Each structure stands twice: as C-alpha cells, then as structure tokens.
A and B are shown apart, each in its own frame.
Chain A
Amino acid sequence: MWNKANLMELFRTVHKAILGAGLAAVFLFSQAGNAQQLSSFEGLPDWTGVWQMIGPTVFDRSTVQPLDGRAGRHGVREFPPYNEVWEQRYLANIERVSADRFPDPLSFCGTFPGFPRTFNLPGALEFVVRPEQVWILTEDGPSITRIYTDGRSHPPEDEIWPTFSGESVGRWEGDTLVFQTIGIKGAGETILDRTGLTLSQQARITTRLRRVDAGTMEAQMAIEDPEALTEIWMVTKQYGRLPEGSRMFDVACAENNRNPVDATGRTLTLDAEGNVLDVGVNTGVQ
C-alpha cells in the first residue's frame, strides 16, 4: 500500500535522479566550451533584491527525518551518502546535539558560517552580480562569498588553504552561474546545519545558481568529498525575494551574546549583568 511516507520517498528518489542526471549532463556540456565569459553588465541576469531561504535551516530537506524535523532538535538527521567513518561521526554529533554538547560554531561569535552553509542560513542574502565577480552577502556572520567569473582557474594547490568562504571560480551558462568551490574549512570549524552535518576540507562543491522565477532563486549543489562521501551528494536550496525596499541588517553576534558556551560545550544563559543564570553552573565559560 502506498502511504504518504513512501510516496514522499518515491518523489525524493525521482527528484534526485532527475537532478543528478541533469547536472551530470550540464557539466559534460560545459566542458565542451559552452560557457560564457562576460566583460560587461550586458547579458547578466537581474538578481537584485533581498532574499531569504525558504524553509527551516535543515541543509538537505529532501532526506531529513522526521519529515518536519528541525535542526537542533533531538533525533533529527539527514542522509548524505557518508562512508562508514563519517556516518559514525555524524551519529556521534547527533548524540551530542541531543545532550546539548554540540555547540554551533556561530555560538562563539568569532567566525562566520562558511561555505556551503552560506546557502543554509536563516537571515537574508544578497546576490551581487558583476561582470568579473559575483558576491553572495549574508546577514548571518556576516559573510561574503566571492565567485570569480573573469575566466581564471583555481590557484595552484600550494596557494590554497582552508578558509571559511573557500575558493570559488565560475562561469555563466546563459542565466545560470555555475561555480566550483574548494578550500573550505570543513569539520571542526564549520557545520552545514545544527543536526551535526559536516564535510571534510577535501570537499568540492559545484553550484548552479539561477533565478527560476521573479520571486525565487535556486542553488543546486553537487557535493563531492572523497574523504567523507561515497558518491555525489545533490542538495537544492531555494530563496524567496523579500518585499521591494527590504534592507539588510547587521547580525553582529558579539554585540550582546548572553548565551556563551562552557568548557563542556553546554550553552549557558546570562542575566542582564552577565551572571550565569543556569542553576548549578558558575565556571568554565569560554
């Protein structure tokens, strides 16, 4: 018998198969030299406006369990094609989330979210299109992801080191920006969401970013990670355009952080004078 759950599973399987096949075809097509290198604004798409991710901050909503699961809640997980080592690492993270011992790196208010979590943030984004670069600006962090579209390739290996935003180069295929990001920070310093999802520094993310209609941007990511994944992980995120005239704001985390993390990884709560409110906790604030 078909019920809602297995119909959803079928939908997801078909969706991923179509997406995977499409991306593979497009990448091959791109290798044949179809890409454009633009030197003026003419022909570039209009991505102006302020955008916000559609849905909660679950990185891969197509595999999340339970279906309405929220990142950070007990027992919520997704199903990336992790190898056994990284699956066990993820399971350990999930247990730490449940025990309130998996602090979000953002809780330390020192660094920004990093790529590809850039595409999984609750605050607003802007996509700034220039002939030689595209910038993704996020309120959370705040952060800037620079994508060079001037025809350059990635730098030589000895000129790349792990950074939060990574190293991105891209090209235009019509109205779609196709870019590849390497050199990300990876596990230990960044997460993809608060269920405990992480990638390694070996990750290579190929993103197809386009405006699918007047009110919607879409990022299709093909994530390769020879250290963590057994196959390409396809993830699609969408963003809705906020009303005309919307503004971007600071999210300066260190301004008044009353939820520091102690030495055990537990998130504390402070009163207005900076005293720890949590009962039985008085030391170890980082």
Chain B
Amino acid sequence: MMKIHERSRTIWLGVALTLSLTGFSVDAHHSGNMFDRERTVELTGTVKEFQWTNPHIWIQVLVPTAGGGVEEWSIEGGVPNRLFRAGWRPTSFEPGDEIMIVANPMLDGAKAGAFVGAKLPDGTTLGRFAE
C-alpha cells in the first residue's frame, strides 16, 4: 500500500544534526541546493536497486501510486566511506526489501530526494527515522 506523507519541519528539526554521519550532507561532493530542506516525504515501497557507489549511494525505490501504478524514486545518500563508519554496509538495502524511507524531496517536484532515514524489513532503522 502506497503512502506518501509530508511532515512539518518541526518534527524533523534534529535531522540535519545527524546527516553528516547518516545520509546526504552539505559536505557531499556537490551542491545540495536542489533539495528542499524544509520538507520531508515518507515513502513506502520496494527497493529496486541499491547503488553502493561513489561519490554517493543511491537507493532506487518503487512506490505504488494511488492510481494503481508504480513510480520510481531515486534517493541519494552520503559517501560509502563515511556511511560505513556510521554502521552502513553494502547490504544495508537489498532488492525486494519492503521499506519506509524519509527524504528531503527535490524542490522542483522530480521523483528524487536526499536520504534522511529508513525503516528496514526487520524493523531496524538507518539515519533518523521516527514512527
């Protein structure tokens, strides 16, 4: 079942404090100006692909739409070296995983975002994820 939530900035006030260790950060190799740091979206979907690559990791997520279709989101995370040190592994996401993922969406509405947090199939979380 698809659900996309938008949450207020207040709920996620602490997110930015931890991004440098857990997700995409302004210390990344490129500008982050394309992302809306004032908003987050929560996606529920299936992992299509996990790209554990430089200069950023990417999580491709297939999200069911209200009309019965599926849209693919590209969620950009941090750099493997620092994510590894924060506890991530190349197997943190596997194709087929049913996950909930929170991201700062792109300002222009494109189906992409900067990783904030995720809840994995076994109930564990990465980054900042609040129920």
Complex CA gap A246/B51 in Å reads 23
A contact residues around B81 at 8 Å (CB): 123-124, 139, 248-251
Chain B residue nearest to A109 (CB atoms) is B55
Q: Does B33 contact A (CB under 8 A)?
A: yes
Is B30's CB under 8 angstroms from A103's CB? Answer: yes
B contact residues around A277 at 8 Å (CB): 74, 106, 110-112
- Indicate which residue in B54, B82, B108, B109 contacts A250 across the interface (CB closer than 8 Å): B54
Q: Mind listing 12 A-B residue pairs with CB under 8 Å?
A: A122-B20, A123-B82, A194-B26, A255-B53, A267-B31, A267-B34, A268-B34, A269-B106, A271-B112, A277-B106, A277-B112, A279-B110
Is B112's CB under 8 angstroms from A269's CB? Answer: yes
B contact residues around A150 at 8 Å (CB): none
B contact residues around A72 at 8 Å (CB): 26, 31-33
Within 8 A of A (CB), among B34-85: 34, 48-49, 51, 53-56, 58, 60, 72, 74, 76, 79-82, 84-85
Complex CA gap A269/B55 in Å reads 13
Complex CA gap A279/B109 in Å reads 7
Complex CA gap A56/B32 in Å reads 15
1/0 per residue A68-89: CB within 8 Å of B?
Answer: 0011110000000000000000
Residues in chain B within 8 A of chain A (CB atoms): 20, 25-27, 29-34, 48-49, 51, 53-56, 58, 60, 72, 74, 76, 79-82, 84-85, 106, 108-112
B contact residues around A248 at 8 Å (CB): 81
Q: Does A214 contact B (CB under 8 A)?
A: no
Given contacts A102-B31, A258-B58, 12 further A-B contacts (CB under 8 A): A104-B29, A122-B25, A122-B82, A250-B81, A251-B81, A256-B58, A269-B34, A269-B112, A272-B72, A277-B74, A277-B112, A279-B110
Chain B residue nearest to A261 (CB atoms) is B30
A contact residues around B80 at 8 Å (CB): 249
Is B31's CB under 8 angstroms from A253's CB? Answer: no
Chain B residue nearest to A76 (CB atoms) is B26
Q: A249-B84, A267-B33 are contacts. A256–B54 as well, Cβ < 8 Å?
A: yes
Is B51's CB under 8 angstroms from A272's CB? Answer: yes
Nearest Cβ in chain A — how far from B17, in angstroms?
A: 10
Is B74's CB under 8 angstroms from A272's CB? Answer: yes
Complex CA gap A106/B27 in Å reads 11
Complex CA gap A102/B112 in Å reads 22
Is B26's CB under 8 angstroms from A272's CB? Answer: no
Chain B residue nearest to A255 (CB atoms) is B54
Within 8 A of B (CB), among A229-286: 242, 246, 248-253, 255-259, 261, 267-269, 271-272, 277-280
Is B110's CB under 8 angstroms from A278's CB? Answer: yes
Complex CA gap A251/B82 in Å reads 10
Q: A100-B31, A107-B30 are contacts. A251–B55 as well, Cβ < 8 Å?
A: yes
Is A103's CB under 8 angstroms from B31's CB? Answer: yes
A contact residues around B79 at 8 Å (CB): 122-123, 251
A contact residues around B58 at 8 Å (CB): 256, 258, 272
Nearest Cβ in chain A — how far from B80, in angstroms?
A: 6
Q: Does A57 contact B (CB under 8 A)?
A: yes
